Amino acid sequence: MSFRSRFGSLVIALISFASTLASAKTTRYGEDLSTKNLAAHSTFHYELTRMLARAAGFSAAEAESLAVANEATDTGSFTGETGVTITLNGTKRVSVSGQYWHFARRDSNNATGEYLYPGSRNTCAYFSIPPRTCPGDEPELDEIEKWAVYAQDTPPPGMPQVSSDAGKSFQQVAGKSLFALAIYLHALADSYSHEACMASTRIRAHKPNPPECSAVYWHIKAEFGNDPEVDKGVSYTQEAAHATWLVLKWFRDKNSLAGAPLWSDEQAYEFIQNWVKLDQPLERREAAVKALESLQ
């Protein structure tokens, strides 16, 4: 039931509001869609990431596994529509290390200083009072990138564990692997999704107010659409998608993976600009699936 719907009964309205609050606890970028064949999931973390990965030059199978692992970073386990199931331990948002993976801060540029992130903002600057400042003045996203792209160091929470057989057996997620990249992409996108709240309140968590910290408002209403009065988070979503595209290409380049991107930057950015304006999750899924099919 839509949070925006109007109801003639106060009782029904209160029930709807309570229901929305409950669903917001599981909403990230967020679990905005479920279908006959797919459990509740994020159209950003799954469909968009999969399509951009394929357009960046990953094979269809690699793009699927990467997107499934990206979604599993939130939920712990996810099965994509080709039947690929990925289970991750150590990254779920409701966990001891949840803040690290889902509320990471980033610098204006990447860890090696070789390119700028979209927006070019150092989000550590929002946290000027210890002990909430970035540890050693290094954003969490730098630590994640060094592990995921260059296989340097170990993330402070420890190596996540991954299973590709429905949780029957696990192994460490190796740096420079497809699974490490998926986790990095998830943390990168979330760093934009949570940035407005970090800037306004200096916290790395959800709370009811201000609106940019509210899961109900920000993640359900504000991050997609074409209404500038309501959709205050769209610019952050655009930047997150641009950053995803940039990192997908960067990972391939730094690890000398064969194959050129199937799309130009202009094609990717035009698709992103149109995609984030789609207010309904099913529309976003269908647009991403159609674009993916054109790349097969």
User: Higher model confidence: residue 46 or residue 216?
Assistant: 46
Query: Residue 44 has what DSSP assignment?
Result: I
Decide: 69 and 182 in contact? Cβ < 8 Å.
yes
Q: Which distant-in-sequence residues (6+ apart) come within 8 Å of 290 by Cβ?
A: none
Task: State mean pLDDT over 120-145.
Answer: 89
Radius of gyration in angstroms for the set of CA atoms belonging to the chain, rounded to a whole number: 18
pLDDT digits (tens, 9 = 90+) for 271-282: 999 999 999 999
CB-side neighbour CA atoms (13 Å) of 183: 37
Residue 270 has pLDDT above 70, yes or no: yes
CA distances from 295 to 9, 194, 208, 260 (A): 49, 32, 42, 13
**Where does the pLDDT of residue 29 fall: very low under 50, low under 70, confident under 90, or very high at 90 and above?**
low
User: Higher model confidence: residue 215 or residue 184?
Assistant: 184
| Residues paired with 164 in a beta bridge | none
**Where does the pLDDT of residue 136 fall: very low under 50, low under 70, confident under 90, or very high at 90 and above?**
confident
Per-residue HEC secondary structure of 222-254 comes to HCCCCCCCCCCCHHHHHHHHHHHHHHHHHHHHH
Mean pLDDT of the residues in the chain: 89
* Residue keyed to tokens 């968009």: 48
What is the C-alpha to C-alpha distance for residues 113 and 227, in angstroms, rounded to an integer?
A: 35
Residue 126 has pLDDT above 50, yes or no: yes
Domain locations along the chain: 48-293
- The percentage of residues in the chain with a pLDDT greater than 90, rounded to a whole number, is 78
User: Higher model confidence: residue 52 or residue 168?
Assistant: 52
Residue 13 has pLDDT above 50, yes or no: no
**Where does the pLDDT of residue 4 fall: very low under 50, low under 70, confident under 90, or very high at 90 and above?**
very low
| pTM of the full structure | 0.89
Q: What is the per-residue burial (b if ≥16 Cβ within 10 Å, else e) of 236-261?
A: bbbbbbbbbbbbbbbbbeeeeeeeeb
- The percentage of residues in the chain with a pLDDT greater than 70, rounded to a whole number, is 90
pLDDT digits (tens, 9 = 90+) for 198-238: 999 999 999 999 999 998 889 888 999 999 888 999 999 99
**Where does the pLDDT of residue 10 fall: very low under 50, low under 70, confident under 90, or very high at 90 and above?**
very low
Task: State the pLDDT at residue 5.
Answer: 32
